[in-house]
Amino acid sequence: MPIRPILQFPDARLSMPAAPVERFDAELAALAGDLLDTMRAAPGIGITAPHIGILQRLTVIELDPASAPKTYVNPTIIWSSEDTISHVEGSVSMPGITDDVIRPKRVRIRYQTLTGEITEEEADGLLSVCLQHEIDQLNGLFWLQRLSRLKRERAIKRFSKHGKG
- Asked whether residue 1 is domain-assigned, the answer is no
Q: Residue 39 contacts by C-beta under 8 Å, 6 or more apart in sequence?
A: 45, 46, 47, 60, 62, 92
- Asked whether residue 3 is domain-assigned, the answer is no
Element (H, E) at 160: helix 149-161
- Asked whether residue 2 is domain-assigned, the answer is no
- Asked whether residue 16 is domain-assigned, the answer is yes
- Asked whether residue 129 is domain-assigned, the answer is yes
Counted domains in the chain: 1
Q: Is 122 a catalytic residue?
A: no
Amino acid 163: pLDDT: 60
Phi, psi of 163 (to 5 degrees): 75, 20
Per-residue model confidence as pLDDT tens digits over 53-107: 999 999 999 999 888 999 999 999 999 999 999 999 999 999 999 999 999 999 9
Q: How far apart are the first and last CA of the chain?
A: 28
Which residue is catalytic, options 27, 89, 134, 153? Answer: 134
Query: What's 145's domain CATH number?
Result: 3.90.45.10
Amino acid 162: pLDDT: 78
- Asked whether residue 67 is domain-assigned, the answer is yes
